[in-house]
Amino acid sequence: MKKIPSETRKQAQQLAYGCSDLIDLAGLEARLAHAQEMGKPLFIKWGADPTAPDLHLGHVVPLRKLRQFQELGHVAIFLIGDFTGMIGDPSGRSKTRPPLSQSEIKQNAETYKTQVGKLLSLDPKVFELRFNSEWSEKMNFADVIKLAAKYTVARMLERNDFSERLSEGRPISLHELLYPLAQAYDSVALGCDVELGGQDQLFNFMVVRDVMQEYGLEPEIVMTVPLLVGTDGKQKMSKSLGNYIGIFEPPEQIFGKVMSIPDELLPDYYRLTSGIAWHEVDRILGDIKEGRLHPRKAKADLAEAVVALYYDAQAATLARQEFDRIFQERELPSEMPQAEIKFPTIGLWIVDMVDVQLRCEVELPTELGSRSAIRRKIIAGAFKLDGEALSDTEARIKLTEPAVLQYGKRFFVKIIPIR
């Protein structure tokens, strides 16, 4: 075996930093060294779910790792699973993700390239946008049977969500067993060197390695990254749970949401979302641990760094100033949405005002998606009107002058009563 240059080992270590799983490091070093020797790039694949094209910081974790490969001159293959999106993949869920129609998938996929342009270089030398329908749609039934023969049912049922459902007597459809094989064939068709993804994809990636060997190919290197916990500090970041930080949200919202994360998530957020060099992150985390840096300032520095990544330094500075003005100096935002609402003589029930009138005028926070959710938040004291808490769900609101409705710490709307 050839000796791996020290610079190549250093590159591999930097690429491995922050990964949950790396299979295998020696193989990655060897491929990097061979690529340098031959003057040819490696091909690194990341598969995108076409069901949710709005990127948040959870998506950013593998994409930033993909950008690291690009900066070393390697090719990022951004694979849209337009074909496998019609199958549905549990990936640790208790039931299959609902399949999408072709038209829905194509509509969602259209937004991806613009969005990833904030994170990846779109230079054709280091970027390819591919769709797995390119090869999957060409397969006939005989091809599918040959592919299915490459793996056993027993090994497929080792996957946690499959084994749990089997032991509980819940159904597993045959098409679900085909999903990891279809994903594996993507890497066969592309001849991938490395595959990136969330740690919930590890089983699928191990299937990929085995199937590639069955086709006489060198198995790809597997790199998984942690699933970023959302702002609630409990569950992984998800739009449906309302605990996400979208990279296309206004700078002030991004800053405020980062400031809302629990202190214990600071290490993960610094490592996975800040864009700060890994050795500098270690220094910052050391300062926090030793008490040289207060967690609140560290969080504000992190929020500013995150905003700067998706906007610029000026927008990040202004977002920080606005946050300090509102939450330290207790002032209202300099800008906020407005809603014109007609109040009858007897007033409006507070729940109706929020759920019916406001919902028609402005975009409400995701967690206010139902009347029952609004009632719970009112009872919890999450709403204020001109600084006064609203805690009675049966109260009627009567306004003759403009007033500011506040929900939580970041949502403000100016209500303008009309006749």
DSSP 190-230: HT-SEEEEEGGGHHHHHHHHHHHHHTT-PPPEEEEEPPPB-
Does position 184 have pLDDT exceeding 90, yes or no? yes
Sign of CA dihedral 159, 160, 162, 167: positive
Secondary structure letter of residue 356 according to DSSP: I
pLDDT for residue 130: 92
Give the three-state DSSP class for 297: helix
- In the structure encoding, which two tokens stand for residue 28, read together? 């990655």
- Is the CB of residue 72 less than 8 Å from the CB of residue 39? no
Rounded Cα gap, residues 348 and 98, in angstroms: 39
Rounded Cα gap, residues 219 and 207, in angstroms: 10
- Band of residue 99 on the pLDDT scale cut at 50, 70, 90: low
- In the structure encoding, which two tokens stand for residue 229, read together? 């916990």
Average pLDDT over residues 187-202: 93
C-alpha dihedral over 122, 243, 53, 312, to 10 degrees? -30
pLDDT for residue 322: 86
Average pLDDT over residues 297-308: 94
| Three state DSSP letters for 236-271 | ECCCCCCCCCECCCCHHHHHHHHHCCCHHHHHHHHH
pLDDT for residue 93: 47
- The residue that leads in pLDDT, 52 or 334, is 334
Does position 363 have pLDDT exceeding 50, yes or no? yes
pLDDT for residue 88: 55
Rounded Cα gap, residues 254 and 298, in angstroms: 16
Give the three-state DSSP class for 231: coil
- Band of residue 55 on the pLDDT scale cut at 50, 70, 90: confident
Amino acid identity, position 150: K
Q: By percentage, how much of the chain surpasses pLDDT 90?
A: 39
Model-wide pTM > 0.85? no
- The residue that leads in pLDDT, 89 or 47, is 47
- Band of residue 94 on the pLDDT scale cut at 50, 70, 90: very low
- Is the CB of residue 122 less than 8 Å from the CB of residue 113? yes
pLDDT for residue 157: 86
Average pLDDT over residues 243-255: 89
- Band of residue 329 on the pLDDT scale cut at 50, 70, 90: low
pLDDT in tens, 343-355: 887 888 888 888 8
- CA nearest to 180, candidates 193, 168, 164, 197: 197
What are the beta bridge partners of residue 90? none
Average pLDDT over residues 71-98: 71
Q: With residue 342 as reference, give the H or E element that holds it.
A: strand 338-342
328 alpha carbon, distance to own chain's centre? 30
- Band of residue 92 on the pLDDT scale cut at 50, 70, 90: very low
- Is the CB of residue 75 less than 8 Å from the CB of residue 123? no
Q: With residue 286 as reference, give the H or E element that holds it.
A: helix 278-289
- In the structure encoding, which two tokens stand for residue 60, read together? 């950013």
Rounded Cα gap, residues 159 and 179, in angstroms: 12
Does position 325 have pLDDT exceeding 60, yes or no? yes
- Is the CB of residue 56 less than 8 Å from the CB of residue 256? no
Alpha helices in 311-343 (DSSP H): 313-327
Query: In sequence order, what are the residues at sequence separation of 6 or more whose Cβ sits closer than 8 angstroms to the Cβ of residue 112?
Result: 48, 50, 53, 78, 80, 129
- Is the CB of residue 260 less than 8 Å from the CB of residue 231? yes
- Mean pLDDT value across the chain: 86
Average pLDDT over residues 96-100: 57
- Band of residue 319 on the pLDDT scale cut at 50, 70, 90: very high
pLDDT for residue 215: 93
pLDDT for residue 275: 85
Q: How is the beta sheet containing 403-407 ordered, strand by strand? A: 338-342, 411-418, 403-407, 383-385, 388-390
Q: What residue has token string 């490696």? A: 42
Does position 280 have pLDDT exceeding 60, yes or no? yes
Does position 90 have pLDDT exceeding 60, yes or no? no
Secondary structure letter of residue 48 according to DSSP: E
